[in-house]
């Protein structure tokens, strides 16, 4: 009998034990300058280059953790015929493609999983389809390489993303199906669309790039164009329903522009028990964007207060974080350039051991100044370098092409199991 992996995430930096990724595939090549905006991209990517860069990320992850591909997990989940029919029915109904449902159900599971992600080309076998300007009956999921957004692990549960853009809804449906039905994974999912707490409020939006687990009792959530205040209220209602002792939610407001501020993890990520990466002008500087602390006790909100900044708010809760500056400390233009290319977006594989783009040289240099040894990802993959226990390091991956997609190492990883932190 297969031993299930229980979901467990009580911090952003506990030692990684299970992570879900999606290696970019043909769905990336189905973007054109004309449809890039609909796909939520500002540019189109070169798949061959992006794939080689992605191999570095996955190669490092495979050295330290169990790594699962979305497509493989989906194909395995679809072996349950009832689950398969339910998922395909919902997808086709939502995307006005019920006419292709019988054809999809005839596909072998691996091919069906592939088409659900890479797209189902339209068959021009009647007049309507022949004259259609569309290329696909089900559009490719261009954004699925950013597996972070469609689901969020917190303790032993998984919050299913309520995506801000309908073009990403299928990602959430797929991740919900995997977490609910894959024989290897044990968890409970929380989905705003299926919840009776608030219901399917159309204003609820929440994406994983805004959702960070600071400590077992502390969540940090960004609110902006991808996560609404109503989405955070939905999370609060679920915390209240547990009727536990003191729990904390720190909310960081984000500006709508530029688009590089799309999620909180583009301006703030945890590196260790006592260190974080910040885009200083927004996180530490004087701005009109609020940092709000919400305290919940035994099912009731007992305090809502405002703090000077996110680092100060964490400090008040006993998390004394040293801010390390994205782009360095000397030049605002350098900060802006490196933040644009995900310079603040790091993924921790253990306390003080993080992965990020090598292209952000000033950010990497700042980490080096703060005691993080710089190690090239390829050296780890080739066995030329190793990561020692308790060693502080930043593992650098190539990112000339991946960064143009608008996300970094944290965006491209969905951890569902980490070791608990000894505080």
Angle of CA points 308, 311, 312, to nearest 5°: 45
Q: pTM to 2 decimals?
A: 0.94
- Average of per-residue pLDDT across 23-42: 69
Question: How far is Cα 413 from Cα 20, in angstroms, rounded to an integer?
Answer: 6
Which pLDDT score is estimated for 198?
A: 52
Whether 129 has a pLDDT exceeding 80, the answer reads no
Whether 29 has a pLDDT exceeding 60, the answer reads yes
Whether 155 has a pLDDT exceeding 60, the answer reads yes
Entry field: residues in the chain: 423
Which pLDDT score is estimated for 378?
A: 97
The per-residue pLDDT of the chain, averaged, comes to 93
Would you place residue 313 in the very low, low, confident or very high pLDDT band (cuts 50, 70, 90)? very high
Give me the percent of the chain exceeding a pLDDT of 70: 95
Contact, 365 vs 379, CB < 8 A?
Answer: no
- Name the H helices within 200-331: 229-242, 280-283, 310-316
- Name the H helices within 127-278: 127-131, 169-181, 229-242
End-to-end CA distance of the chain: 35
- For 33-67, the pLDDT digits (tens) are 665 455 445 566 788 999 999 999 999 999 999 99
Compute the half-sphere exposure of residue 356: CA atoms within 13 Å on the CB side of its CA.
35
The answer to which of 122-126, 186-190, 273-277, 325-329 has the lowest mean pLDDT is 122-126
- For 344-393, the pLDDT digits (tens) are 999 999 999 999 999 999 999 999 999 999 999 999 999 999 999 899 99
- For 217-259, the pLDDT digits (tens) are 999 999 999 999 999 999 999 999 999 999 999 999 999 877 7
Which pLDDT score is estimated for 405?
A: 82
Which pLDDT score is estimated for 28?
A: 85
Which pLDDT score is estimated for 50?
A: 92
Question: How far is Cα 210 from Cα 149, in angstroms, rounded to an integer?
Answer: 8
Give phi and psi for 166, each to the nearest 5. -60, -25
- Determine the 3-state secondary structure of 390 from DSSP: coil
Domains, the chain:
5-418 (3.75.10.10)
Whether 403 has a pLDDT exceeding 90, the answer reads no
Which pLDDT score is estimated for 113?
A: 98
Whether 70 has a pLDDT exceeding 60, the answer reads yes
Which pLDDT score is estimated for 33?
A: 60
Whether 93 has a pLDDT exceeding 90, the answer reads yes
């Amino acid at each position: 009998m297969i031993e299930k992996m229980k979901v467990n995430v009580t911090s952003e930096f506990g030692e990684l034990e299970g992570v879900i990724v999606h290696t970019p595939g043909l769905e990336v090549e189905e973007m054109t300058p004309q449809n890039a905006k609909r796909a939520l991209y500002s540019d189109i990517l070169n798949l061959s280059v992006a794939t080689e860069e992605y191999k570095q990320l996955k190669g490092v992850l495979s050295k330290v953790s169990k790594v699962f591909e979305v497509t493989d997990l989906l194909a395995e989940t679809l072996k349950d015929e009832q689950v398969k029919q339910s998922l395909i029915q919902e997808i086709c109904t939502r995307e006005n493609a019920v006419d292709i449902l019988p054809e999809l159900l005839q596909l072998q599971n691996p091919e069906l999983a592939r088409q659900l992600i890479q797209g189902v080309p339209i068959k021009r076998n009647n007049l309507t389809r022949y004259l259609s300007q569309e290329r696909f009956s089900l559009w490719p999921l261009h954004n699925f390489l950013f597996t972070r957004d469609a689901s969020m692990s917190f303790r032993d549960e998984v919050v299913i993303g309520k995506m801000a853009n309908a073009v990403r809804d299928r990602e959430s449906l797929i991740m919900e199906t995997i977490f609910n039905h894959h024989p290897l994974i044990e968890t409970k999912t929380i989905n705003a669309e299926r919840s009776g707490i608030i219901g399917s409020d159309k204003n609820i939006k929440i994406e994983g790039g805004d959702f960070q687990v600071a400590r077992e009792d502390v969540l940090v959530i960004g609110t902006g164009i991808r996560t609404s205040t109503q989405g955070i209220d939905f999370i609060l209602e679920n915390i209240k329903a547990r009727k536990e002792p003191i729990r904390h939610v720190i909310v960081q407001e984000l500006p709508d522009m530029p688009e590089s501020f799309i999620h909180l993890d583009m301006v703030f990520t945890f590196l260790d028990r006592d260190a974080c990466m910040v885009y200083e002008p927004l996180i530490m500087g004087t701005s009109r964007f609020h940092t709000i602390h919400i305290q919940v006790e035994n099912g009731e909100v007992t305090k809502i207060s405002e703090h000077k900044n996110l680092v100060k708010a964490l400090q008040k809760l006993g998390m004394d974080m040293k801010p390390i500056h994205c782009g360095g400390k000397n030049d605002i233009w350098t900060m802006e350039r490196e933040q644009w290319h995900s310079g603040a977006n790091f993924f921790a594989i253990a306390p003080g051991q993080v992965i990020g783009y090598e292209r952000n040289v000033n950010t990497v240099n700042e980490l080096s100044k703060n005691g993080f040894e710089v190690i090239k990802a390829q050296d780890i993959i080739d066995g030329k370098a190793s990561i020692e226990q308790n060693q502080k390091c930043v593992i650098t991956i190539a990112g000339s092409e991946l960064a143009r997609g608008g996300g970094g190492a944290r965006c491209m990883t969905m951890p569902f199991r980490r070791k608990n932190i000894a505080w």
